[in-house]
Structures are given as structure tokens and as C-alpha cells.
């Protein structure tokens, strides 16, 4: 169990926000396989205030998509309070503020991870959030800006001072992006320094690595990001592993195919056939990680436009007795395979 403010979650595993990925279909697939608390895609305060159509769509949800976290990106108090005014008309359980995004076009605007260099400013922005909502506010930070400035402990104390109820930390610096070793020691230091729940992230790619994160950092929860791409079973599998110490069986090709079809249908129903099929293409790649001789089919999947064409390719993935999917062996997905944000 995990408690953030007065909200209690039935699991300590959380689906991390994934820009360009964690739309409603992806969240529903993850929830189907045991995810109990998911985040929507990161939302820019500016785009929200200008009522950008795509941004407003990111707020779409359904009752079974709860509990749900919304994550905001910004660096200006007025925009933050304006965004909250609009957001308060929607239903969600947690509001998170992003001080972790490493992308240059974000940090050059003083947003995301660049706020790690300005802990007082971050505290001010978090106070604005806390004052403008009734739901618990959290922040997401990184271990620091680069290896000469590992200041997560200091940033966490400033953040806690604002009245937030929880802190997410990705154990890499902004400079590391998504590569290199995760710094478990810094996460543990942050956990020991503050009195609010700490949810850790970074290489949460398998039940074993997630257990390692709990064991080495003492964190209260773990945020799962790339580990769930093409592998929504990671939620159920990890719960099982943490409970019994036994690794759940590997998924066979038929189960993966059945999940792909379910995901494709959700994408197409929710986004409309053309957009849904286009968005599903990257999931085709992730679901088929580790499949033999898959490249020609992936190339085909990137060309098709209709659901029936995509179904034809999925149907070609006929079952074989030997071919199984091992998410742990698959390793982290290169970020270039993901949508950039």
C-alpha cells in the first residue's frame, strides 16, 4: 500500500508519465494487467491555458481509469495557477509537477530538469500548485543536473517545504538522460532526508530490478516507465514476484498477440482508425521485441494505414513452440524507439 496525502493506493507500483505514450488505451491495457495507479501524459501549462485541442484530449479519462495522476510542466506561477483553474473541472487523484524532463527544448525554457538548478523557484511554483488544488501535489525530480551537481537532497527539502505530499525521483542526472547507471545511493539519501513518500524510478525494467530499487533505496513506491512498453504484464508480474519471490512464467507468443489485438482495437476505437493505427505502430515494435526475423514485418507495420492491414501483419505472427518473450532479457528500450517529448 502507498499513501500520498489522504489518497491510499492499493499498490506500490505506479505507471510513470510517458509523453506520447501514456494515452487512455495504453493506460487501460496496463490496468488490465494489474496497474493500479497511472499517470496521463505530461501536460504543458501554456498549452492547457491556450486550450490546445491535443492537450485537452490528454485529459480524457473514464471511471475505470482511476486512480489517475496528471503531470504539469511549466515555470511561471501565473500559468501554473491558470492551468489549475482549468484542471479543477476535471477528475483526478494526484497532481505532479515535472522538474525532471531533460529535453533541451524544455530545459531551455527554464522548465523540467532546469528547475533543479533553481530549488527556490521550484518551491514557489509548487506552493502555487498546493494553494490551488484540493488533491495531493507531488513533484518529480532527478538526481541532479550533471555529475558536478548532484543536488537531489537539497531540491527535495525545498520541495517538501512547499507542502507537497510526495516526491518522485528518477535516479539519473539531466545530463545522463535515460542512459547510464541509476544512482540508488542518492535516492536513499533523499528518502532519509524527507518525511513524505518517495517514489523511485530508473531502470525499473523487470520484477528483479524493481525489487532491487525497493531494497537498495527504502523507497515507498516504484514508478515503471520503459519496462512497461510492450510488456504491460510487468505490473502483475512484479506484484507476484514481490509477494512470492517466484518469477512468473514467460509470456508465450499467443498471449502477446492477443494483447496486441486488444491494444490495437483500443487505439483505433479511441483515436479513430487512421490515427489509432499510426500510434499503434511503435507498440508493434515493442510487443515484438525478441521475436525472430521480425524486421521485415516491422517495416510493413510502419507502412500500413488501416486496422485490417495491421491485423493481417499481426496474424502473420503465428505461434511457435519455442519463441517466448523474456522482458528481462530484452533490456531497456532505446529512447530513439520512443516518441521524443
Interface residue list for ligand FMN (CB under 6 A): 16-19, 21, 41-42, 71, 98, 100-101, 140, 170, 178, 201-205, 225-227, 335, 338-339, 341
Q: Which of 177, 165, 55 is nearest to 106 (CA)?
A: 177
**Shortest separation between residue 227's beta carbon and ligand FMN, angstroms:** 5
Active site residue 101: yes
* Nearer CB in complex with ligand FMN: 100/116: 100
Q: Is the peptide bond before 67 cis (omega within 30 degrees of 0)?
A: yes
Least distance between ligand FMN and beta carbon 339 (Å)? 6
Which residue, 205 or 313, has its beta carbon nearer to ligand FMN?
A: 205
Q: How far is the CB of 296 from ligand FMN (least distance, A)?
A: 25
For residue 165, give Cα distances in angstroms to 19, 46, 140, 203: 23, 24, 12, 24
Is the Cβ of residue 206 or residue 313 nearer to ligand FMN in the bound state? 206
Instruction: State the DSSP string of 114-160.
Output: GGGG-HHHHHHHHHHHHHT-SSPEEEEEEEESSTT---HHHHHHHHH
Shortest Cβ 203–ligand FMN spacing (Å): 5
Do residues 234 and 223 lie in contact, with contact meaning Cβ atoms separated by under 8 Å?
no
Q: Which residue's CB is nearer to ligand FMN, number 223 or number 301?
A: 223
Cα separation, 281 vs 311, in Å, equals: 12
Strand partners, 166: 138
14 forms beta bridges with 223
CB of 25 to ligand FMN, least distance (A): 16
* Minimum distance from residue 222 beta carbon to ligand FMN (Å): 9
Nearer to ligand FMN, 204 or 314 (CB): 204
Q: How far is CA 63 from CA 154, 300, 313, in A?
A: 38, 36, 33
Strand partners, 173: 144
What is d(CA 150, CA 146) in angstroms, rounded to the nearest whole number? 7
Closest among 38, 13, 17, 24 to 99, alpha carbons compared? 17
Q: E strands along the chain, which residues? A: 2-4, 7-9, 13-15, 38-39, 43-44, 68-73, 94-99, 137-144, 166-173, 198-201, 221-224, 251-252, 324-325
Return the number of the residue (98 or 238) whose C-beta is nearest ligand FMN. 98
Least Å distance, CB 16 to ligand FMN, is 3
Residue of 101, 219, 267, 338 marked catalytic: 101
The secondary structure of 172-186 as a DSSP string is EETTTTT-S---HHH
In the complex with ligand FMN, the residue whose CB is nearer, 264 or 333, is 333
Q: Concatenated DSSP letters for 87-112?
A: HTTS--SEEEEEE----HHHHTTT-G
Q: Which of the residues are catalytic? A: 101
Amino acid at each position: 500500500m502507498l499513501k500520498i496525502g489522504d489518497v491510499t493506493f492499493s499498490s506500490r507500483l505506479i505507471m510513470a508519465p510517458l509523453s506520447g505514450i501514456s494515452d487512455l488505451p495504453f493506460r487501460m491495457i496496463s490496468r488490465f494487467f494489474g496497474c493500479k495507479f497511472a499517470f496521463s501524459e505530461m501536460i504543458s501549462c501554456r498549452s492547457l491555458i491556450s486550450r490546445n485541442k491535443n492537450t485537452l484530449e490528454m485529459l480524457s479519462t473514464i471511471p475505470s481509469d482511476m486512480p489517475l495522476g496528471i503531470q504539469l510542466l511549466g515555470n511561471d506561477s501565473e500559468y501554473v495557477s491558470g492551468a489549475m483553474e482549468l484542471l479543477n473541472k476535471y477528475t483526478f487523484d494526484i497532481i505532479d509537477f515535472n522538474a525532471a524532463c531533460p529535453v533541451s527544448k524544455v530545459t531551455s525554457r527554464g522548465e523540467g530538469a532546469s528547475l533543479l538548478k533553481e530549488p527556490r523557484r521550484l518551491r514557489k511554483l509548487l506552493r502555487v500548485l498546493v494553494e490551488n488544488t484540493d488533491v495531493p501535489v507531488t513533484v518529480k525530480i532527478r538526481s541532479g543536473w550533471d555529475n558536478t551537481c548532484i543536488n537531489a537532497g537539497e531540491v527535495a527539502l525545498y520541495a517538501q517545504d512547499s507542502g507537497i505530499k510526495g516526491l518522485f525521483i528518477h535516479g539519473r542526472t539531466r545530463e545522463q538522460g535515460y542512459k547510464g547507471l541509476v544512482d540508488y545511493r542518492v535516492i536513499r539519501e533523499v528518502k532519509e532526508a524527507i518525511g513524505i513518500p518517495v517514489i523511485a524510478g530508473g531502470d525499473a525494467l523487470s520484477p528483479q530490478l524493481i525489487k532491487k530499487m525497493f531494497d537498495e533505496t527504502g523507497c515507498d513506491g516504484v514508478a515503471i516507465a520503459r519496462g512497461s512498453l510492450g510488456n504491460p504484464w510487468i505490473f502483475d508480474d512484479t506484484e507476484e514476484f514481490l509477494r512470492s519471490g517466484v518469477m512468473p512464467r514467460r509470456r508465450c507468443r499467443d498471449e502477446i498477440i492477443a494483447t496486441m489485438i486488444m491494444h490495437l482495437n483500443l487505439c483505433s476505437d479511441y483515436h479513430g482508425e487512421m490515427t489509432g493505427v499510426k500510434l499503434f505502430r511503435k507498440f508493434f515494435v515493442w510487443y515484438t521485441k525478441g521475436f525472430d526475423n521480425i524486421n521485415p514485418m516491422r517495416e510493413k507495420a510502419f507502412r500500413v494505414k488501416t486496422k485490417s492491414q495491421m491485423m493481417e501483419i499481426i496474424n502473420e505472427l503465428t505461434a511457435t513452440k519455442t519463441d517466448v518473450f523474456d522482458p528481462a532479457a530484452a533490456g531497456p528500450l532505446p529512447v530513439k524507439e520512443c516518441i521524443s517529448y
